Structure 1
Amino acid sequence: MNQWKKYRLEGYQRSGQIKLLRKIEEELVEDGDYACYQKIKDTYLTTDWSPIYRNLLQRFV
């Protein structure tokens, strides 16, 4: 993870900016930081996760 994204991630977490937090975490997963996968999942309700999960999978195919 580059330092800039790390700072942004921390700022979004502290300020409760969930949409921006999700965006950065998705970028990090796409960059190979799979530890962020669970963090993204934890920001969604179980009922909302399925379409998000499919979208993430499509990005890797």
Structure 2
Amino acid sequence: MTRRQPLTRRDWARALLATEIVFASNLVGSGLDWSSTTGLSDEETIALLRTLQRKIPPVHG
């Protein structure tokens, strides 16, 4: 049985990092195809990422 628990700060940081990589990287992510892949413009995505970056405190260690 799986417990349903909220993500930890570390989990949120990992999810944010993965999203940043997929957004920006043409090598291992969507990169230049981002807007056609997601329907979001680069400008919309940057605004959303900045909002999340402000809400998710950095995790060190």
Task: Answer 1 or 2: higher relative contact order, Cα 8 Å, separation at least 6.
Answer: 2
Q: Same fold (TM over 0.5)?
A: no
Structure with greater helix percent: 1
After TM superposition, the score normalised by the length of structure 2 is 0.32
Larger Cα-atom Rg: 2
